[in-house]
Amino acid sequence: MSSIRSVCVYCGSGAGDDPRFGDAADALGRNLASAGLSLVYGGGGEGLMGRVARATLAGGGFVTGVIPSFLVREEHALTEAQEVLVVDNMHERKQAMFERADAFVALPGGIGTLEELVEQMTWAQLGRHGKPILIADVAGFWRPLLALFAHMNDAGFIRSGFALRYLVAEKIDDVVPMLLAAADRRADLAREAMSVRDL
């Protein structure tokens, strides 16, 4: 049985200009539900956030939305979700999402999506968690960021031993299998480490 039970999806509260972004959000929501994985997300009912949540619900999946009180009206909190957590601020939102998720996926989005993704990557670099992080590079949306990461590495700003650990999927149907495989690898490594300690 996989150690992944819930997936946090970071994505835009807007729809973006490319219809492929919305299609990807719909497909990811369906795939999460089909795999029996719960969705944890920012709680909004608009844009890609609303689409991934509604698709998960339509597929029979469980959805947890986490939204700060000051965004309830602005982002039209999705009250249909089985669990809606209204928190005081953005820091509480991100902490609650982290605690409820076993893996993280970034769909296209804006500055907030980028900030959430990079924070999880930073925490992973610093050894604060080992949960899988996946960038869904829908229609090449994240390629400039991936190029920046490579540039940072080449310029010596990503220290040896603290390499950015993340997955990249160009096809949305690859997201769930890649997360599950990563979780299985992590579990195998943990078992191997325990066996070595027992020798």
- The pLDDT confidence band at residue 59, using thresholds 50, 70 and 90, is very high
For the cut 60, the answer to whether the pLDDT of residue 198 exceeds it is no
Give the pLDDT confidence score for residue 74 in this predicted structure: 87
- The pTM of the whole model exceeds 0.75: yes
Count of domains for the chain: 1
Which tens digits make up the pLDDT trace of 150-168?
A: 999 999 998 777 767 899 9
Average pLDDT, integer, range 22-44: 98
Query: What residues contact residue 153 under an 8 Å CB cut-off, 6+ apart?
Result: 163, 164
Alpha helices of the chain — where are they, by DSSP H?
19-34, 47-58, 90-100, 111-125, 143-154, 175-198
- What percent of the chain shows pLDDT beyond 70? 91
**CA dihedral (98, 103, 106, 107) positive or negative:** negative
- For residues 196 and 69, what is the distance between their CA atoms, to the nearest angstrom? 48
In a domain? residue 1: no
Structural domain including 74 reads 6-198
